[in-house]
């Protein structure tokens, strides 16, 4: 039992941190541009596929650097050439634009890499068990993912608290009008923020790709959960997004784990042989009740606390 | 929704207006009746049936998006549940031998959609805007995920099949033949069309528009926007459910794809590409999408990509949709200035076509390269075959795209100028306020 709690907590935190990497970008974009980027999970997927392709050409470590840069540049371009022009037709048009973009990204990935999962592997350097708990090996790559997520979280937090851009982002969270009135080059900041947000999503994709399944429906599977995170956390609230990410990460991991331990639904699935519990979360066909839980949480939150856990602003 | 032009208030008191109004409806009914005589092949009958179902679904979606300003990402929930309930109803009625004919089944689907909209709508419609979009997405995912849990009802991955001919035969119809299904769909499409059009004309329909344009003001004059959204939502649920039931009757199966995000996206695509600001918009969009999906899927393996690109193009360049775009020409047409604009269009058409050809070529080359470049690098496009492995085809695509873009940019400014001139003339003659 304690083994279950330990590994589930670890996996839950890991999944939660990955969710936060994406949700933070999405929240910042929403706060500043006022647009819910439907294509955000698409950029996460692009990150995973770019990471896969680049790591085949140059190896994993260069890919870890180049793939987010490429995805971020693409994101900035989307903001500059697409969203900015759609903006004059209102927020609904922007939302629809990103919805169409998500669709196009999905189809493009399918055209280029196919529908089947690609062989995106853990780099050899990290392909060993880090430590053994209760006779279960915990892979080093997961420790690396967790460390990466924590480092980026720390950098993000410092960046928001200490840098000039961070100050503006922070101000935009609470007083978006004031920031514009203070005469900042809002257009350029928007582009930068959008690029940064999508790059963050891509980082999550590059590092999650080898541990989870890299295939063309990963965005469609994760996208809605991402929205659950930011709605539950409170639209526009970074700390709320963190809490909600961890909450949903733990919720889903424990739900799957408890199901597994019951053995009635997952009798054939020995955890030791399964690639990862997280894979199950993404794999709807295996997990039974876990995929529904975030949406149940969403509906409950919207009934009892519509502004989300830490949200203050009405949408 | 600033892009939505309000429907003109018309008393339709004059006889001529009434004649034109009923004449249009009669013409629509006549066309629907004659269509299967002109195109009688099984393929076209299926296409027409699918188009009719899409029309109902897209129009029901537009009760939300176009009329009430609610952007839903989970409308397929009511479509799908209507479909599932219809299949279960057919199976039950067929087994129990109750004397219920098949044409009633869409009503069952409609009431199923209505019931679920009543159940889920109150929470969903508490607020409009982004909050509604998020909730509809969440509820949609919730129900779609449940299909794999509640296997006995949804039939898991395989879905639930039925046999529509098992029901009571009415007027000699067994509904085994596609032509009979066509007439069933056609009749329901006309009923739904009339009902939904009438809905836009009621005071309630006007209140929906008011909620879309300014909910605070609606609240101020003593109405609850939440209640109005909720009622609109249930109406939309009803018609979506009946469309889902028709689809289930047409395919004799209901599966989890019926209520997935993809299906919701299709309704959005159809309504928006057609134009959400006018009643005819979603109809145009539904026909366009149905036709395109059938034709494109034969021509290209990556047809869904073109779908998405067309949608993005509409959002970016023609937010009022195809129908809205056409209707925008009406004052110019009436002012007799249409030739000026048409001439500019003719000039802009070749370079635009050139650019699009280049883009399509590029997409097809990439697709061919990614899928089976080793097996068969030859590609057949526009009646020509070319070797996609060589640099020549890439170069042609790039030249066409970039060259077309460069010329098209210049010609489209010409179109804008011609448009402005024509509008000025139309305004001067009093055809535009």
Coil, strand or helix at B214:
coil
**Neighboring chain A residues of B225 at a CB cutoff of 8 Å:** none
pLDDT at residue B262 above 80? yes
Cβ of A299 within 8 Å of Cβ of B302? The answer is: no
CA–CA dist B175, B96 (Å, integer): 19
Share of chain A above pLDDT 70, in %: 85
pLDDT at residue A264 above 50? no
CB proximity A200 to B under 8 Å: no
pLDDT at residue B264 above 60? yes
Q: What is the pLDDT of residue B2?
A: 43
pLDDT at residue A315 above 70? no
Query: H or E segment at B160?
Result: strand B160-161
Cβ of A227 within 8 Å of Cβ of B134? The answer is: yes
pLDDT tens per residue, range B99-109 = 888 888 899 99
- Of A2, A111, A285, A14, nearest to B303 (Cα)? A111
Cβ of A302 within 8 Å of Cβ of B123? The answer is: yes
Query: Mean pLDDT across the stretch A247-275?
Result: 60
Do the beta carbons of residue A94 and residue A102 sit within 8 Å? Answer: no
User: Alpha-carbon Rg of chain B, whole angstroms?
Assistant: 24
What pTM, to 2 d.p., does this model score?
0.85
CB proximity A182 to B under 8 Å: no
**Neighboring chain A residues of B213 at a CB cutoff of 8 Å:** none
CB proximity A115 to B under 8 Å: no
Averaged confidence pLDDT in chain B: 84
Share of chain A above pLDDT 90, in %: 12
Cβ of A231 within 8 Å of Cβ of B71? The answer is: no
- CA distance to A40, A79, A237, per residue, from A189 (Å): 18, 11, 19
- The residue among B203 and A10 whose pLDDT is bigger is B203
pLDDT at residue B11 above 60? no
**Neighboring chain B residues of A295 at a CB cutoff of 8 Å:** 138-139, 141-142, 145
Residue B62, class by beta-carbon neighbours within 10 Å (0-12 exposed, 13-18 middle, 19+ buried)? Answer: buried
pLDDT tens per residue, range B184-221 = 899 999 999 999 999 999 999 999 999 998 889 998 99
Which residue has tokens 């004799």?
B252
Residue A261: pLDDT band (50, 70, 90) is very low
Q: What is the DSSP string of B368-428?
A: HHHHHTTT--EEEETTEEEETTSHHHHHHHHHHHHHHHHHHHHHHHHHHHHHHHHHHHHHH
pLDDT at residue A260 above 90? no
Segment among A23-32, A135-144, A190-199, B2-11 with least mean pLDDT: B2-11
CA–CA dist A141, B65 (Å, integer): 46
Cβ of A112 within 8 Å of Cβ of B309? The answer is: no
Cβ of B145 within 8 Å of Cβ of A298? The answer is: no
pLDDT at residue A101 above 90? yes
Hey, how many other C-beta atoms are within 10 angstroms of the C-beta on B204?
13
pLDDT tens per residue, range B114-162 = 999 999 888 888 888 888 888 888 889 888 888 877 777 787 778 888 8
Q: What is the pLDDT of residue B150?
A: 75
Closest chain A residue by Cα to residue B310: A100
Q: What is the DSSP string of B255-285?
A: -GGGGSHHHHHHHHHHHHHH-SSSTHHHHHH
Residue B239: pLDDT band (50, 70, 90) is very high
Cβ of B2 within 8 Å of Cβ of A89? The answer is: yes
pLDDT tens per residue, range B368-420 = 777 655 555 566 666 666 666 677 878 888 888 888 888 888 888 888 888 88
Do the beta carbons of residue A35 and residue A83 sit within 8 Å? Answer: yes
- Which of B135, B307, B370 has the CB atom closest to A302's CB atom? B135
Residue B52: pLDDT band (50, 70, 90) is very high
Cβ of A224 within 8 Å of Cβ of B141? The answer is: yes
Q: What is the pLDDT of residue A174?
A: 65
pLDDT tens per residue, range A62-81 = 888 899 999 999 999 998 88
Query: Mean pLDDT across the stretch B222-246?
Result: 94
pLDDT at residue B4 above 80? no
Residue B37 C-alpha, separation from nearest chain A C-alpha, in angstroms: 38
- Of B200, B204, B64, nearest to B140 (Cα)? B64
Hey, how many other C-beta atoms are within 10 angstroms of the C-beta on B371?
14
- The residue among A265 and A230 whose pLDDT is bigger is A230
Cβ of A299 within 8 Å of Cβ of B261? The answer is: no
Residue B185 C-alpha, separation from nearest chain A C-alpha, in angstroms: 30
Cβ of B308 within 8 Å of Cβ of A104? The answer is: yes
**Neighboring chain A residues of B138 at a CB cutoff of 8 Å:** 224, 227-228, 231, 295, 298-299, 302
Q: What is the pLDDT of residue A279?
A: 39
Query: Mean pLDDT across the stretch B249-268?
Result: 88
């Amino acid at each position: 039992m304690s083994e279950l709690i330990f590994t589930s907590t670890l996996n839950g935190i890991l999944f939660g941190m990955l969710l936060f990497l994406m949700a933070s970008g999405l929240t910042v974009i929403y706060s500043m541009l006022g647009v819910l980027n439907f294509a955000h999970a698409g950029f996460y997927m692009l990150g995973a596929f770019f990471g896969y392709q680049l790591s085949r050409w140059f190896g994993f470590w260069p890919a870890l650097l180049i793939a987010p840069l490429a995805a971020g540049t693409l994101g900035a371009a989307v903001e500059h050439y697409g969203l900015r022009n759609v903006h004059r037709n209102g927020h609904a048009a922007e939302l629809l634009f990103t919805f169409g973009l998500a669709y196009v990204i999905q189809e493009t990935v399918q055209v280029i890499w196919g529908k089947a999962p690609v062989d995106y592997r853990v780099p050899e350097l990290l392909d060993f068990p880090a430590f053994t708990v209760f006779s279960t090996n915990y892979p080093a790559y997961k420790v690396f993912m967790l460390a990466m997520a924590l480092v980026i979280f720390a950098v993000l937090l410092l960046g928001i608290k200490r840098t000039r851009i961070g100050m503006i982002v922070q101000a935009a969270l609470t007083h978006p009008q004031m920031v514009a009135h203070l005469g900042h080059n809002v257009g350029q900041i928007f582009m930068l923020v959008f690029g940064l947000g999508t790059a963050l999503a891509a980082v999550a994709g590059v590092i999650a790709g080898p541990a989870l399944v890299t295939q063309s429906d990963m965005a469609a599977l994760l996208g809605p959960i991402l929205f659950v995170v930011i709605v539950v956390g409170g639209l526009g609230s970074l700390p709320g997004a963190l809490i909600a990410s961890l909450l949903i990460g733990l919720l889903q991991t424990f739900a799957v784990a408890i199901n597994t331990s019951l053995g009635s639904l997952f009798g054939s699935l020995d955890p030791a042989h399964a690639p990862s519990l997280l894979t199950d979360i993404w794999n709807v066909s295996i997990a039974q009740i876990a995929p529904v839980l975030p949406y149940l949480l969403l509906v409950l939150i919207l009934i009892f606390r519509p502004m989300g856990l830490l949200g203050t602003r009405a949408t | 929704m600033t892009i939505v032009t309000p429907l003109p208030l018309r008393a339709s008191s004059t006889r001529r207006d009434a004649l034109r109004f009923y004449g249009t409806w009669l013409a629509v009914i006549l066309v629907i009746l004659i269509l299967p005589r002109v195109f009688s092949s099984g393929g076209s009958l299926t296409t027409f049936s699918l188009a009719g179902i899409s029309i109902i679904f897209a129009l029901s979606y537009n009760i939300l998006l176009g009329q009430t300003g609610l952007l839903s990402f989970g409308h397929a929930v009511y479509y799908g549940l209507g479909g599932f309930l219809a299949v279960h109803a057919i199976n039950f009625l067929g087994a129990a031998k109750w004397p219920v004919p098949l044409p009633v089944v869409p009503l069952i689907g409609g009431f199923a959609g209505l019931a679920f909209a009543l159940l889920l709508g109150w929470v969903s419609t508490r607020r409009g805007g982004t909050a509604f979009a998020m909730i509809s997405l969440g509820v949609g995912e919730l129900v779609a995920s449940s299909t794999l849990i509640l296997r006995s009802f949804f039939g898991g991955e395989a879905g639930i099949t039925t046999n529509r001919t098992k029901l009571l035969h009415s007027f000699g119809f067994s509904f085994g033949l596609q032509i009979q299904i066509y007439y069933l769909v056609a009749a329901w499409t006309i009923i739904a069309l009339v009902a939904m059009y009438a809905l836009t004309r009621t005071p309630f329909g006007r209140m929906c528009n008011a909620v879309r344009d300014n909910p605070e003001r609606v609240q101020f004059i003593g109405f609850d926007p939440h209640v109005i959204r909720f009622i609109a939502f249930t109406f939309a649920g009803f018609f979506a459910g009946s469309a889902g039931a028709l689809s289930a009757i047409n395919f004799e199966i209901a599966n989890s794809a019926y209520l997935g995000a993809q299906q919701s996206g299709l309704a959005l695509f159809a309504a928006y590409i057609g134009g959400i600001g006018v009643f005819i918009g979603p109809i145009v969009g539904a026909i366009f999408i149905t036709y395109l999906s059938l034709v494109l899927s034969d021509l290209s393996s990556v047809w869904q990509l073109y779908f998405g690109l067309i949608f993005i193009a509409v959002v970016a360049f023609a937010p009022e949709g195809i129908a809205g775009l056409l209707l925008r020409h009406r004052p110019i047409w009436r002012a007799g200035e249409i030739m000026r604009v048409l001439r500019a269009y003719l000039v802009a058409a070749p370079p635009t076509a050139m650019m699009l050809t280049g883009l399509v070529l590029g997409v097809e080359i990439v697709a061919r390269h990614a899928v089976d470049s080793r097996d068969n690098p030859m590609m057949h496009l526009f009646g020509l075959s070319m070797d996609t492995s060589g640099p020549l085809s890439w170069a042609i695509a790039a030249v066409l795209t970039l060259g077309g873009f460069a010329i098209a940019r210049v010609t489209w400014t010409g179109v804008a100028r011609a448009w402005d001139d024509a509008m000025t003339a139309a305004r001067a003659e009093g055809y535009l306020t």
